[in-house]
Amino acid sequence: MSEIPQRQLGKDGPCLSAIGFGSMGLSGFYGMPASDDERFKVLDRVIELGCTLIDTSDVYGDNEDLIGKYFKKYPDKRQKVNSILITHKTISIFIGFFGY
């Protein structure tokens, strides 16, 4: 399988993967989450395919903690995701939902 194509963000911005990884599924939204080691395998594959854009949120259960543990355990992987980790805070979801 080929790697995910890369795109430059703006004229002078970083090069990002054209497809990002939405990590909500790593936590408890679709049933009980797997063990950290099993979820680390998913992150390994995402990075192996060339994804440098990971979307996460504190609303996604232990998602941000899991990704932090992953990069702490595998610091060399953090160098491969050299572009952007996107995170959103709970308040932004409620603001959008209630129209404030």
What are the domain boundaries of the chain? 6-98
Strand (E) or helix (H) holding 87: strand 84-88
Alpha helices in the chain (DSSP H): 36-48, 63-73, 75-80, 90-98
Tokens 């989450």 sit on residue: 33
Q: pLDDT confidence of 16, banded at 50, 70, 90?
A: confident
- Annotated catalytic residue: which of 60, 70, 74, 100? 60
Mean pLDDT, all residues of the chain: 81
60 is catalytic: yes
Question: Smallest Cα–Cα separation from 6: which of 84, 87, 75, 86?
Answer: 84
Amino acid (one-letter) located at 33? P
8 A C-beta contact, residue 49 and residue 18:
no
Mean pLDDT of 26-54: 91
DSSP state of 61: T
